[in-house]
Structure 1
Amino acid sequence: MLQTRFTEAFGVPHPIVQGGMQWVGTAPLVAAVANAGALGMLTALTQPTPEALTAEIARTRELTDQPFGVNLTIMPIVRDVNYDEYLRVIAEAGITIVETAGRNPAPHMPFFHEHGIKVIHKCTSVRHALKAEAVGVDAVSIDGFECAGHPGEDDVPGLVLIPAATRRLSIPVIASGGIADAQGLVAALALGADGVNMGTRFLCTVEAPVHDAVKQQIVAASELDTELLFRPLRNTSRVSSNAVSREAVEILTAGGAFEDVVHLVNGERGRTVYATGDPEAGVWSVGMAQGLIDDVPTVAALVERMVTEATAQIARLGSMTASAVPA
């Protein structure tokens, strides 16, 4: 067992988090992660209404009695979102861990504190992490450039970003982006992190509510098979490289506006990918970590393998400091 400030503060056995993933962070996956001793996150905005989130929390509790959290992304999206209602549902359901992303969570911190909710805020830069610490979050998840989804606009990879954050923050730091195995976990801990967050790796597990053809696509792909979408709009998103994403990148690079690609990047098309198994049906998020993935294990097998191998690797590294035996 690997004990860190994160495991102690959030009450989970292993320093591994399954971050929020649109369309994917639902009860079957989250419960499997929780049952494996890691921290699973329901994605609130995958649920179309606050009432649907209430039902999904209940469904998760039918599958696990272990701690899990809710991811709430606070930013402009296509549909109108009543964040106050989602927050009410989270509190009334007795959820004690929330992962926030997008905008500064400061306006909501009094609510979280009032209801005894611990907050992990997802950041892509040290300056944003410092702001999150200043407004009272309990931990930050820091995304390196390798990550799926939004890596920010600074393009700093994890090998630099993680220690840059941990040397300046006093709260636990969760390393995110490019992590898919025990080596990534050990590296993150060595860089000063208190745990790791994984999206792409959990996407490629038996319990992930995604068509198996998509999982096999991830297994077959390399770290080179992603595209950086929306770069000219300074809202970069790392997605799978396919005909749709490449066309959208080409249009935007040539000076096109968001309106010129909205028919390509519509979120419902991405949802269709997961449902039908056609990786060319739309734009869907995946990280460079896919180049490290070569199987589709159960969540329990993945977490056990990571922790067991990480423990062995830490012991091996420790043995390297042993004094040489005199001749």
Structure 2
Amino acid sequence: MRLVVALGGNALQQRNEPLTLATQWTNARIAARALEPVARNHQLILTHGNGPQVGLLAMQAQSFDGAEPYSFDLMGAATGGMIGFILEQELGNLLGYDVPIATLLTRIEVDARDPEFSDPSKFVGPGFDRPEADRLAAAHGWTFREDGARWRRVVPSPQPQRILWHRPIRWLLEQNAVVICGGGGGIPVVQQADGRLEGVEAVIDKDRASSLLARRIPADLFVIATDVPGVYENWGTPEQRLVPELHADELEGSAFSRGSMGPKVEAALRFVRETGKPAVIGALDQIGEIVEGRAGTRVLPGRRAVA
């Protein structure tokens, strides 16, 4: 079976953990142990986020007076390579030399007219208290929004339109390689009037980019691996309940699509509607059970059958 697995924040950086290399290596090692049996038995394509890493890199680039800061397309490429190397290293240590692993930098075209460029929403970097966020906003012209109890920088997150290219990914899969690509949602580029492609200041949502990739490859199963066992009804209340199965026709306009699970449900729904195949949202440490259909919230085409 051909799988696209989108690694969420728990792959390298859990909420409220210090953003250190030691933390990222530890979490990558845990992720690799969970993914090893899947990689041995299936064609595996890994994607991952980069929000904390790219935000920190942006802050570091701004910390030297007189230094020209890196643009977000370049920082997306840098963090995609860095995180890909960490995952490749840890998976390779478990899979051995006979299982090839390749990390690809992946350009993804976006629309320069996307409304995100005038109203950014993507969180990047660490959290701050309000006074420090205000200071950074005044010093650098950054935009901050509240994220839980902290304030984090936000940047444009346009919708992914087209992946450049599919052929290297498909060729590597034909050689039985594990492919790590679409890191951080891919490197955002826009097409100019003369047809040239240029990078743009943005960070594409990892789940949306992964859904597009899974639809174009195409995958037999799209898994969004996060730090919770799946989608819950009444989340955060005494009545919360894991929902084992959702159907595409029931999700349009639902509370799930408007809540914190919104981008994940949206990404899963688009894959299911376009391919007619299932998607699953679930915990990374249950990836084996997810692939076997015994864990996570499965998003299925159509409407639930009435008994």
TM-score for both structures, normalised by structure 2: 0.34
Higher strand share: 2
Taking CA–CA contacts closer than 8 Å with sequence separation of 6 or more, which of the two structures ends up with the larger relative contact order? 2
Higher helix share: 1
